[in-house]
Structure 1
Amino acid sequence: MPDSPPAPSTAPTSAPAAGERMNRSAVLWVALAVFAQEAVWNFYDAQVPEQLRHYFSSAGVIGLVMGLDHSWGIFTQPWVGFYSDGLARRRTGRWPIVLVGAVIAAVPFALIPWATNLPTLLACVVGFAAIANAFKGVTETLISDYVTPGNRSKAQGFIKAGVSLTIVVSSLISLLVVDRSLRLAFAIPPLLMLIMLGLSWAFLGRRHHDAVLPEEQTEEQTEREREFTTPWAVLKDALRSPSSPTLLLMVGIFCFAGMWSALRSLMTPYGTQVLDLTRGEAGGLTLPGAVAFLVCVLPIAYLSNRLGQLRAMRQGVALFIVGLLVGFAWPSVPGTITSMILSSLGYASFAVNALVALWKLAPTHKVLGTYTALYTIASASGMALGPAILGTTIDLTSWRYMLLNAAVFAGITFAVFTRLARRAPDRTAA
C-alpha cells in the first residue's frame, strides 16, 4: 500500500464506454427520493430559527442550536453508511434504512409548532435532526447503485436540480401557508417526504436486484476491500496523512457547507430585522435563487466536465463571494434577491462536484456509502458550526453586516480550494 493516497483526479469525468448510457429512469426516481428528503430540511432551515426566536434573542445562540442538530450526523453517518454498503448488493438495497428513517423522522418534525415550551421544542428539534441526519447520506448514495461512474457527474446535476426545487417548495409554503397556519405549514413537508419516498421505492427500490449496475474491480481493489471491516478503517485509510487530498477536500466542504447553512438558517431573521419583512415574506427570499439554481444546475454539471471539478468548485466559491458582497452593498429586497441568485449559482457549482470528487478517491466501489459519510461528516460539521459562527459575528456587529461577515468566511473556502487546485491542477480535455 502506498505511503500517501493518490492526488484527486480533477480531470473531466471519464466518458462512458461506448453504448453505456445513463439510467435516466433511475436518476429520476433517486432525484425524487433526494427531493423528498431535502424538502423537509429546507423548510426546517427556513422556519425553525424564527421559532427559536420566541425563546432566544441572541443570533449566536440560535445559530448554535441550528448547528448542533447537524452534529448528530458526525457520529451516526459513518456507521449507517457502512451498514448501507453491506445492503447495497442485496435484494432490498439501502432502501429499508431510508424508508424507516423517514417514517420515524416525520413525527417530531410535524410536532415542532405544537411545542408550547422550550424543552418540548428542543426535544422535537433534536429528535428530528438525530433521525433525519442518520439516513440523509444513504439517500444521496443511492445514485451510485444505479449509475455508472462515467455518468455520475451528469446524474448529480439532475439530483441537484431536484434539490433546488425543494427550496422553491419551501419558499412557497412559507409565502402561502406560514402566516395563515403554522401547524399546517409544518405538516406539509413531512407528508410530501413520505409520499415521494414511497413512490420512489415502488418504482425503483422494489426492482433493486434487477437495476443495480455491477462494477468491475481490479485485483488491488479486491485485496484492499478486505482491509475495510469497520467504518473507522475506511476513515483511517482516507485520512492517513495531514497532506491527504481527501482531508483537504473535506476542509473545503466543511467551510462552504458551513457558510451556506448559515445563510439558509439566518436569512429569515435577516429579512425581518434588516428589510422589515413579515416572517412569511422573509422565508420567500430564497425563492429566486432556487429558480436560478434550477435553471443553471444542469448546464453547470455539463460544463464542469470540461473545466475540471476543482476549477469549477473554485470559480463557484468566487461567484458565491461576489453575490454576498452585492447583497451587502445593496441592502434592499431587490439587492438581497440578486445576492441570493448569484450565491445560489456559485453554490450549484460546488454542490454538483464535491461528492463525486470524493467518490473518485474511494479505493473500492463497495465503500461508496462510507465515503458519502465522509462528505456528510465534513458538511455536517460545517453546518453545525457555521450558523453559530456567523450568528456570533452578527451579535458583535449587527444584522446589517451579516452578508459581509459571510463573505469574509467564504474567502477562507476560496483559499482552501486554491491550494487544492495548485496541488492537483485541473487537466481539461484537449
Structure 2
Amino acid sequence: MKKTWLLGFGFFSISITWALYNAFVPFFLDDFLKSTLLIGFMMTIDNYFALFLQPWIGSRSDRTNSRFGKRMPYLLIGMPLAALFGALIPWHTGLLTLILFMVLMNLSMSLYRSPTVALMPDITPDNKRTQANGVINFMGGIGSIIAFGGGAFLYEMHSSLPFLSASILTLICLAILLYTIKEKRDAVAYAPADHKPTISFKGEWNRPTLFLLGAIFFWFLSYQGVEAFFTLYGKNHLQLTEGQSSFSLAFFSLAFVLAAIPSGLLGNRFGKKPVIAIGVVGLILIFAAISFVDSLLPLRIMLIVGGIFWAMININSYPFIIALGKEQTIGTRTGIYYLVSSLAAITSPPLMGGLIDLFGYSVLFYFASGGMVIALLFLAGVRDKGLTKTISAQNGSTNI
C-alpha cells in the first residue's frame, strides 16, 4: 500500500492539470468564441487524442521492456512536455496560439495517462485493486481540490499562475515516481506481453464487459457535460463570479476524496456492481435536483452529496473492467477503458453546447440526469455470474 500511495502522485498531477484545464480554458475560449457549441467542441480536443492514442499507447506499454520498466518511459516523455505546454496556455496571443498550446498539451498527456493508470494493477495484487484504486483516486481528488480551491485564488491574481503551479507540481510528481517506483522490483509479476500492439476485442472481451463499457460511456457522457460547462453554468445561469463557480467544484472534489477509500472498501466487501448501482441512482436524483437550485449554499450541498455518489461509481468501475480480462493485457484494457470514456467526452460537450444554445443553461443537469438513467439500464445488463470461474482459469485467480 505504500507504493500505491506513492503512485497516487501520478494521479495527483493528472487530476490537478485536468481540473484547472476544464475550469479555466472555457474562459479563454469564451473571449474568442460566442457559440457554446464551439466552446464545447474545443474542450474535446484531449479526447480525440485519447480516442486514437491511449488504447495504442496502453497496448504498446504492455510489451515495452526498458531499464525503466514497461510504463515509466512514457511518463518520462509525456509529463515534462505536458508541463511545458500547459504553462504556455494562458500566454496565448490569439485563438490560433491558444488552440496550438491546447493541442500540444493534450497530445503530451495522451502519452502517459494510460501507462500511469496501468501501473496500479501492475504493482497491486488483484484482491487489493479496488482499495488501491480508492487510494490513488483519493490522491487525484486532493489534486482537484487544490485546483478548484487554490486555482480560483491564483486565477484572480493572474490567469497564468494556476497553470504554472500545475506544471511545477507535475515535474515534482514525476521525480517522486521515478525515485520510488521501480517496476521490475515492485511489479506483482513483471512480464512484458509477447503480442504485437493491436487493439481488438476478439478473445478478450465478453458480453458483461461490453455492457459495462456501455454503462461507462453514458455515465461519463453525463459527467463530462457537467464538468465542461459547470463554470459557465454558474457564471451565466446562477450569476456567480468566475471564482465562485470554479471554487464550487471543490466541494464535489472534496466529497469525492473523502469517499474514495470507503468506496473501494465497500466495493471489495459487497461487490463492485451493487456499489456502482447505488452511485448511479444517487447521481440521477442529485443532477435532477440541482436543476431546481438557484442559490450558492444548496448548490454546494448538492455537489457534496454528488461527489460521494461519483466516488462509488468511479472507484469501482476501472477495477471491474480489469477483473474481466487477463493479467497480460492490463495496459490494453486500460486503453479501451479510456477509449470509451473519451468517446463520451468527445460526444458530450458539443452535444450539450448545442442544447444550451437552443434551450439555455437550464438544460445542463436534465441532460446529465438522463444520461445516468441510460447508464443504469446498461449496468443492469452486466451479468457477472459464472465469470469468476472462467476468468480464474485464465489468470489463476480473480476477485470480481
Give the structure-1-normalised TM-score.
0.85
Superposition deviation, residue 34 in structure 1: 1.3
SS class of match (1:182): coil
Superposition deviation, residue 196 in structure 1: 1.2
Q: Does 1:402 align with 2:364?
A: yes
SS class of match (1:362): coil
Q: Deviations over 1:120-157 (max 9, x none)?
A: 11111111112212321110111112111111111011
Q: Superposed, which structure 2 residues align to 1:214-233 within 5 Å?
A: 214=189, 228-232=195-199
The match for 2:207 is 244
Q: Does 1:84 align with 2:61?
A: yes
- State how far apart, in whole Å, the 2-side matches of 1:132 and 1:50 are: 21
The letter of the residue matching 1:149 is: D
**Root mean square deviation, CA, Å:** 2.2
Maintained 8 Å contact 2:60/2:197: no
User: 1:328 is matched with which residue: 291, 301, 325?
Assistant: 291
SS class of match (1:420): coil
Q: Deviations over 1:213-264 (max 9, x none)?
A: 2289xxxxx9xx76x43323x433335xxx7222221121111122212211
Q: Superposed, which structure 2 residues align to 1:330-369 within 5 Å?
A: 330-363=293-326, 365-369=327-331
Q: Does 1:298 align with 2:257?
A: no
The match for 1:315 is 278
Maintained 8 Å contact 2:221/2:368: no
Maintained 8 Å contact 1:168/1:290: yes
The letter of the residue matching 2:335 is: A
User: Where does the alignment leave 5 or more consecutive residues of structure 1 unmatched?
Assistant: 1-23, 217-221
- State how far apart, in whole Å, the 2-side matches of 1:229 and 1:425 are: 30
Q: 1:123 to 1:151 in 2, by over 3 A?
A: same
User: 1:70 is matched with which residue: 41, 47, 51?
Assistant: 47
- State how far apart, in whole Å, the 2-side matches of 1:321 and 1:59 are: 24
- State how far apart, in whole Å, the 2-side matches of 1:167 and 1:302 are: 22
- State how far apart, in whole Å, the 2-side matches of 1:262 and 1:42 are: 14
Q: 1:409 to 1:210 in 2, by over 3 A?
A: closer
SS class of match (1:87): coil
The match for 2:391 is none
SS class of match (1:236): coil
- State how far apart, in whole Å, the 2-side matches of 1:306 and 1:426 are: 18
After the TM superposition, which of the residue ranges 333-342 and 190-199 deviates more from structure 2? 333-342
Give the structure-2-normalised TM-score.
0.91
The letter of the residue matching 2:31 is: H
Aligned-pair identity in percent equals 23
- State how far apart, in whole Å, the 2-side matches of 1:88 and 1:340 are: 43
Count of aligned positions? 389
The match for 1:53 is 30
Q: Does 1:370 align with 2:332?
A: yes
Q: Deviations over 1:298-346 (max 9, x none)?
A: 1111111232111211211111111112211222112221222222222
- State how far apart, in whole Å, the 1-side matches of 2:386 and 2:301 are: 32
Maintained 8 Å contact 2:184/2:190: no
Q: Superposed, which structure 2 residues align to 1:113-152 within 5 Å?
A: 113-152=90-129
User: 1:211 is matched with which residue: 166, 169, 186?
Assistant: 186
Maintained 8 Å contact 2:255/2:308: yes
Q: Deviations over 1:80-132 (max 9, x none)?
A: 11221123686533111112101112222111111121111111111111221
Maintained 8 Å contact 2:279/2:311: yes
Maintained 8 Å contact 2:183/2:190: no
User: 2:353 is matched with which residue: 361, 368, 391?
Assistant: 391
The letter of the residue matching 1:256 is: W
SS class of match (1:350): helix
Maintained 8 Å contact 1:141/1:369: yes
- State how far apart, in whole Å, the 2-side matches of 1:59 and 1:199 are: 40
- State how far apart, in whole Å, the 2-side matches of 1:80 and 1:90 are: 18
- State how far apart, in whole Å, the 1-side matches of 2:338 and 2:111 are: 10
Q: 1:230 to 1:196 in 2, by over 3 A?
A: closer
Q: Superposed, which structure 2 residues align to 1:155-174 within 5 Å?
A: 155-174=132-151
